[in-house]
Structure 1
Amino acid sequence: MKMIKRAGLTRTGSAFGGTLVAGLGLALLPDPAAAQAANGSAVTGSVTAVVGTAEGTPDQPVAVEHDAENGTFSLVFENDYFADTDRHYTNGFRFSYMTPPGGDPQWLRDAVGAIPFTGFGGDIRVVWSLGQNMYTPRDTSLRNPDPDDRPYAGWLYGSVGVIAETGGVLDQIELSLGIVGPSSLAEQTQKGVHELISSDDPQGWDTQLKDEPIVQLTYQKSWRALAAGSAWGFAADVTPHAGFALGNAFTYANTGVTFRLGQDLPRDYGPPRISPSLPGSTYFRPTDSWGWYLFAGVDGRAVARNIFLDGNTWKDSRSVDKKPLVGDLQAGLAITINGARIAYTHVIRSKEFDGQDQHDEFGALSVSFNF
């Protein structure tokens, strides 16, 4: 068994994280004037944004009329069952609520607008999320799993984020607070599901990572329809992205691109996913009552920290030697019907640690709807 001891965070990182926690925490406080204004426009509304479309360019302003919208709910379910496997990143669940347009207070715009190297403005929303991730070794029948295989681990978290779409550019920043270890309830979740479907009971959860509080910050920037075109009733676009994650769960920098081809492409940035992944988003604005698109994307990550491979930060735990470069390749189908978007994404992930015998595959099913 490989045992490790990790160093704590630096004083500078703690101060920076504290500032971010305080700033995003203020987003929880209501703004009475903004709420009153939002309620006063509850019948119909409009927003003028700078967007890229198949018929225009990303820097061409267009007025977008939309019906009343109280917010957007989104549910994402990721599981390796879709690839007929049961190992490594085996399950993820995330439920999100995105606030309606026009209800963000001015102080929030000022706060996120002051974040350097970003472009927060335009259509600003706050996103609340609750999720759980689950990781296991390849052979779950062993009470004492192979020490050279990925350790058992679970992560239970809540998140608050701010997203803003301006000029065909989407900025997303999110702060997640949670727990890794037995308190994540991943063991109970997996055993309960396996009992429900009459599957073998996983045996090695006693070796999982220890309890550790998690503070995680992620930022992604996407340029929608940087290249776009249409012909014969079909439209296509290309959306590159770049971002980073900073925290004791994940620390990495990433970049990649997504391609879409379909009819009546909605103003969105791909279906939502569970981090670490291609970004996607709860945000979407349908252009018609019906539409669909095929999509494919690639994302590369330079990984400095992955607690689910490196082990606990301040305690001895199981661990494996992670690979510093990881890539995701994904493809899928999204359908929009009125104010709803349903999507399936199939993901191939490159090897994440030394000794891993082959790449991983899993699927992601998401449902988002405006109401």
Structure 2
Amino acid sequence: MPVLLSGLLLALPASAEITGPTAGAETGTLTLILENDLFYNLDRHYTNGVQAVWTTARDEVPDWTRRWARLVPFFAQDGHVRAVFSLGQNMYTPSDIEAVNPPPGERPYAGWLHGSAGLINETNRRMDQLQLTLGMVGPASLAEPAQKLVHRLTDAPRPMGWDTQLHNEPGIVITYQRAWRSELLESTGFGLDVMPHIGGAVGNIATYADAGFMFRAGWHLPADFGPARIQPSLPGSGFFEPDANHPVGLYAFLGISGRAVARNIFLDGNTFRDSRSVDRKTWVADLQAGIAVNIHSARITYTHVFRTREFAGQDEGDEYGAVAVTWQF
């Protein structure tokens, strides 16, 4: 599977006839995501994430990529194939960023600069996502200068403890997610559906299994699988397909996901070197709620995320906001 995904990095778009379970937009999509706890006047733990995601149009991949996708045993043989590429950065800090030497039990400073290549296989009612992510943890992630620059420009408190961050370490994560979409109600433009999901990840950065579901309710629901998010999170889609007869749509969503976590480098510390760490909790849950608006070729979503405590000694759970803007090209 890693060979399949790394091969995508060399893939150039190739036209293909759109056939199969659903008809959809014949364009690729660019999604920009910002996740930050300052939406709620916080500055701690998972404090910032940014990601740019390019998703190809349906079946706009070389023939050999589609043939390889058919070899993946859990992909639908009659599904459509998309390729997805992303580049992003995550940032983690203790609760008191003004302490030069954060005390034991505080979450370590850490950054994660990452790039991904993946495949999406989708039908009317199901989406499978397989993704390979490579990157760097530590000073090479550039999280320290990024946070210091933003805080200087916004006149925010200067983070003082980055000298204690995790050491440089290359990272790899293989992630798989499956989501189903089932209509519960559709009447005069109003729709309600539910999307259960299962999945997991394996790698030195993160290893976990997760499951959950999401409800959507609104008018002229687009054919997507929820808002795009930075992993780990509820699965979403960087693409969307508005109703051809009603290009303007609006929906609210509510979802929950639980994870059994076996590895989280940002809590457990470096894999091969001594570093700061905390006692990771095995069970973590996310509750998310928000709203999505699509207008012709653009979609804007806002998500409010509540996350349960991730490590021993954490006084309360975290919350942050996520904004994603998607354009069709």
Interval of TM-score (by shorter of Structure 1 and Structure 2): over 0.9
For 1:341, the equivalent position in structure 2 comes to: 299
Q: Greater Rg, structure 1 or structure 2?
A: 1
Secondary structure in 2 matching 1:26: helix
For 1:143, the equivalent position in structure 2 comes to: 100
For 2:279, the equivalent position in structure 1 comes to: 321
Query: How far apart are residue 113 of structure 1 and its match?
Result: 2.0
Secondary structure in 2 matching 1:346: strand
For 2:238, the equivalent position in structure 1 comes to: 282
Q: Deviations over 1:275-309 (max 9, x none)?
A: 11111110211113100000000000000000000
For 2:258, the equivalent position in structure 1 comes to: 300
Secondary structure in 2 matching 1:48: coil
For 2:69, the equivalent position in structure 1 comes to: 112
For 1:49, the equivalent position in structure 2 comes to: 21
Q: Residues 121 and 198 of structure 1: is their aligned pair in 2 closer, same or farther, counting only changes over 3 Å? A: farther
CA contact (8 A) 1:47 1:65 kept: no
Is 2:192 aligned against 1:236?
yes
CA contact (8 A) 1:120 1:166 kept: no
Tell me, in whole angstroms, the C-alpha distance in 2 between the residues paired with 1:294 and 1:244. Answer: 26
Query: How far apart are residue 148 of structure 1 and its match?
Result: 0.4
Tell me, in whole angstroms, the C-alpha distance in 1 between the residues paired with 2:148 and 2:219. Answer: 42
Q: Which amino acid aligns with 2:237?
A: S
Tell me, in whole angstroms, the C-alpha distance in 2 between the residues paired with 1:88 and 1:176. Answer: 22
Query: How far apart are residue 110 of structure 1 and its match?
Result: 2.2
CA contact (8 A) 1:120 1:165 kept: no
For 2:10, the equivalent position in structure 1 comes to: 29
Secondary structure in 1 matching 2:6: helix
Tell me, in whole angstroms, the C-alpha distance in 1 between the residues paired with 2:19 and 2:47. Answer: 41
Query: How far apart are residue 152 of structure 1 and its match?
Result: 0.3
Secondary structure in 2 matching 1:25: helix
Q: Which stretches in structure 2 are left out of the alignment for 5+ residues?
A: none
Identity of aligned pairs, percent? 52
Is 2:268 aligned against 1:310?
yes
For 1:267, the equivalent position in structure 2 comes to: 223
Tell me, in whole angstroms, the C-alpha distance in 2 between the residues paired with 1:78 and 1:104. Answer: 30
Partner of residue 75 from structure 1, selected from 22, 32, 35: 32
Query: How far apart are residue 117 of structure 1 and its match?
Result: 3.1
Secondary structure in 2 matching 1:244: strand
Q: Which amino acid aligns with 1:241?
A: H
| Number of aligned residue pairs | 327
Query: How far apart are residue 232 of structure 1 and its match?
Result: 5.6
Query: How far apart are residue 83 of structure 1 and its match?
Result: 1.6
CA contact (8 A) 2:109 2:166 kept: yes
Q: Which amino acid aligns with 2:117?
A: V
Query: How far apart are residue 271 of structure 1 and its match?
Result: 0.6
CA contact (8 A) 2:110 2:143 kept: yes
Q: Which amino acid aligns with 1:21?
A: P
For 1:354, the equivalent position in structure 2 comes to: 312
Q: Deviations over 1:297-352 (max 9, x none)?
A: 00000000000000000000000000000000000000000011100000000000
CA contact (8 A) 1:120 1:171 kept: no
Tell me, in whole angstroms, the C-alpha distance in 1 between the residues paired with 2:208 and 2:328. Answer: 32
Query: How far apart are residue 93 of structure 1 and its match?
Result: 0.3
Is 2:147 aligned against 1:190?
yes
Q: Which moved more, 1:105-114 or 1:75-84?
A: 105-114
Tell me, in whole angstroms, the C-alpha distance in 2 between the residues paired with 1:162 and 1:121. Answer: 15
Tell me, in whole angstroms, the C-alpha distance in 2 between the residues paired with 1:30 and 1:250. Answer: 27
For the aligned residues, what is the CA RMSD?
1.5
CA contact (8 A) 2:131 2:175 kept: yes
CA contact (8 A) 2:69 2:81 kept: no
Report the TM-score when normalising by structure 1: 0.85
Secondary structure in 2 matching 1:253: strand
Tell me, in whole angstroms, the C-alpha distance in 1 between the residues paired with 2:284 and 2:156. Answer: 31
CA contact (8 A) 1:109 1:121 kept: no
Q: Which stretches in structure 1 are left out of the alignment for 5+ residues?
A: 1-19, 39-44, 51-63
